[in-house]
Chain A
Amino acid sequence: MGVKFVATNETRYDTSAFASGKFCKLSVSLPYFSTISTHSRCFEPNIMAQTTNTHTVTFRDRNINSGNTANGVNTTVYNSDQNAEIMCWISPLKLEDRHDTVRTDRHEGVGDWLLEIKEFKEWREDEGGADKAVLFCSGNPGVGKTHLM
């Protein structure tokens, strides 16, 4: 009985987390990202502009804030057509958004232990030289590795 109750509550909390903002963020970035994934070749800037506008309109209908977010992404990253074109030529992948989601979800203080241990400090401060250039945090699923990022 007790176990069942906890499970029900967990589901509810996760749903509420999505409703309280996280979902809005994902609803903008995921369709945007999936558009990129369907094109292995680089976008022409005018095609990119059309695509982004379409999404902006769609999400503004649902939620004004989402529309603003989409506009924000657009102006930050594609402030110059030429730079955008070169960046897109380098790689169509855009990795920044995922980090915003992770850092928003992280509870303050979780994982702070890592910054304090000797191995991390040596890695960070370059004290170990080239030998200690790679740090690997190893753990089973669910132990909080992603939130160390």
Chain B
Amino acid sequence: MVIDGLYDQARNGDLAVAWLYCDYLAPQEQTVINVIGAILKQLIGKREIPKEIVEESQGGRRPLLADLKRMLKMVINSLPQVFICIDALDEYLPKDLPILLESLRDIRESPTTRIFLTGRPHVKEAILRYFSKAVVIPVSPNQDDIRSYIEMRLDRDEEPEVMDNNLRSDIVKMVLEKMSDMCVAKFRVPPANGDACTYQQLRI
């Protein structure tokens, strides 16, 4: 929504957006080096790869985090507007989170760079340690959003013949009533691997 909104509202065409969805099931893939590299790749996008990066890649050595941060700063400085969006920071490997945040702080020297983060409340402290002036927006379940979403799902039901208005309003009412209980009670602790499916299904 934010990512697409940024593109829609772009005042000029040269807007670069990078994003990452943290996944607690993928800590081995989402290392800081891989993530910073992936952000760099996204910002380059379809633009021409800077010749400094081309030359460096021909050296044969895998890039270190410091190399990637340097390259990323170079690319950011060449762009008028850069947005980096990271979802679910709480799912990022806790021991690597400070390194990721520190890297983001290091590359955010350019004033044209904006960072959008989401996560559970407990990662706020870590974020504020690196970005002391970060603006925090509390997100709570929006009843209208939930109602509208359930209505949409009911409209798309593959067996409309078993549905009637009473059942429909009962379902909407029950889900709205149970919604907040489910979120808080079931997911107070990070789910174990076996719960992954339920956890994903409930992420509306």
- Where the two chains meet, the residues of A that have a C-beta atom closer than 8 Å to any C-beta of B are 2-3, 5-6, 9-10, 13-14, 16-17, 20, 33, 36-37, 41-42, 83, 85-87, 89-96, 98-99, 102-103, 106-107, 109-115, 117, 119-120, 122-124, 126, 128-149
Chain B stretch 145-176: residues in CB contact (< 8 A) with chain A: 145, 148-149, 152-153, 156-158, 170-171, 174-175
Q: Is the interface of A mostly helix, strand, loop or mixed?
A: helix
Q: Once the chains bind, are A92 and B34 in contact (CB under 8 Å)? A: yes
In the complex, chain A residues whose CB is within 8 Å of the CB of B38: 90-91, 93-95
Which of A95, A128, A133, A145 interacts with B139 by CB under 8 Å?
A: A145
Decide: B131 and A138 in contact? CB cutoff 8 A: no
Determine if B142 is an interface residue (Cβ-Cβ < 8 Å): yes
Contact A90 B2 (CB under 8 A): no
Pair B145/A109 contact, Cβ less than 8 Å? yes
- Asked whether A138 lies within 8 Å of B137 as measured between CB atoms, the reply is yes
Whether B138 pairs with A139 at a CB distance below 8 angstroms is yes
Task: Please indicate the chain A residues that have their CB under 8 angstroms from the CB of B1 in the complex.
Answer: 103, 106, 110-112, 114-115, 147-149
Please name all residues of chain B whose beta carbon is closer than 8 Å to the beta carbon of A13 when the two chains form the complex: 153, 157
- Chain B interface residue count: which class? 35 or more
Task: Check B135–A134 contact: CB distance below 8 A.
Answer: yes
> Is A138 in contact with B124, judged by CB distance below 8 angstroms?
yes
Residues on the A chain within 8 Å of B95, using CB: none
| Shortest beta-carbon distance from B28 to chain A in Å | 7
Given contacts A3-B174, A124-B114, A136-B127, contact A111 B153 (CB under 8 A): no
**Chain B residues in 8 Å Cβ range of A85:** 57
Contact, CB under 8 Å: B87 / A145: yes
Q: Hey, which chain B residues are within 8 Å of A102, CB to CB?
A: 21
Extra contacts besides A87-B41, A134-B133, A143-B139 (13): CB < 8 Å: A20-B156, A87-B49, A90-B63, A107-B149, A124-B9, A130-B111, A133-B115, A138-B119, A138-B137, A140-B120, A140-B184, A144-B139, A144-B145
State the Cβ distance, A134 to closest chain B Cβ, in Å.
4
Residues of A contacting B108 with CB < 8 Å? 133-134
The CA of A6 and the CA of B142, in the complex, are separated in Å by 20
A92 vs B4: C-alpha distance when bound (angstroms):
24
Q: CB distance B145 to A110 under 8 Å?
A: yes
Q: A126: which B residues are within 8 A, CB to CB?
A: 111-112, 114
Give B5-45 interface residues, CB cut-off 8 Å to A: 5-6, 9, 18-21, 26, 28-30, 33-38, 40-42, 44
The 5 tightest CB contacts between A and B, nearest first, are A91-B37, A139-B139, A142-B183, A134-B134, A93-B38
